[in-house]
Amino acid sequence: MSDCLSENIFGQRLRFARIDKGWTQEEFAQIAEIPNTSIAHFEAGSRKPSYDSLRKLAIVLDISADYLLGIVDELTIAMPARFSKKIAKISGDDRVLLDSIIELLITRNKH
């Protein structure tokens, strides 16, 4: 990762995700119920969001907070809590089966 990107990775990724949704800062701020000035500061890197704001931003953008924070580089959607709770309840063998089903669905959607 380049030094330039790592200086304000959160702001750059936030801006990228917002633009990918086709939203202006004002539209995004209204949807996220966060002041427009805060969105501008977050994207510029002059302020960092609170935990509650980070959570709202990730939910509204439907991406993981880990991506926004630069913990992971792959843009992934946030997994709904109901799925992660259900997955936590299944056995190891069933998780292998679930992984196979997911791969089958991915392959099917590529065709």
60 and 91 in one domain?
A: no
Select the more confidently predicted residue: 1 or 25.
Answer: 25
Query: CATH no. for residue 11?
Result: 1.10.260.40
Residue 28 identity (one-letter amino acid): F
The reply to whether the predicted model has a pTM over 0.85 is no
86 and 59 in one domain?
A: no
Residue 56 in any domain: the answer is: yes
30 and 50 in one domain?
A: yes
What residues make up the domain containing 90?
A: 81-110
91: three-class secondary structure by DSSP: coil
Q: What angle do CA 106, 1, 36 make, to 5 degrees?
A: 80
Residue 75 in any domain: the answer is: no
Distant-in-sequence contacts of 13-20, Cβ < 8 A, 24+ apart: 13/67, 13/68, 13/70, 14/39, 14/42, 14/43, 14/57, 14/61, 14/68, 15/43, 17/61, 17/63, 17/68, 17/75, 18/43, 18/61
Total tally of structural domains belonging to the chain: 2
> pLDDT tens for residues 34-67?
999 999 999 999 999 999 999 999 999 988 899 9
Residue 25 in any domain: the answer is: yes
64 and 10 in one domain?
A: yes
Asked whether the beta carbons of 77 and 17 are under 8 A apart, the reply is: no
pLDDT for 4 beyond 70: no
Q: How confident is the model at residue 80 (pLDDT cuts 50, 70, 90)?
A: low
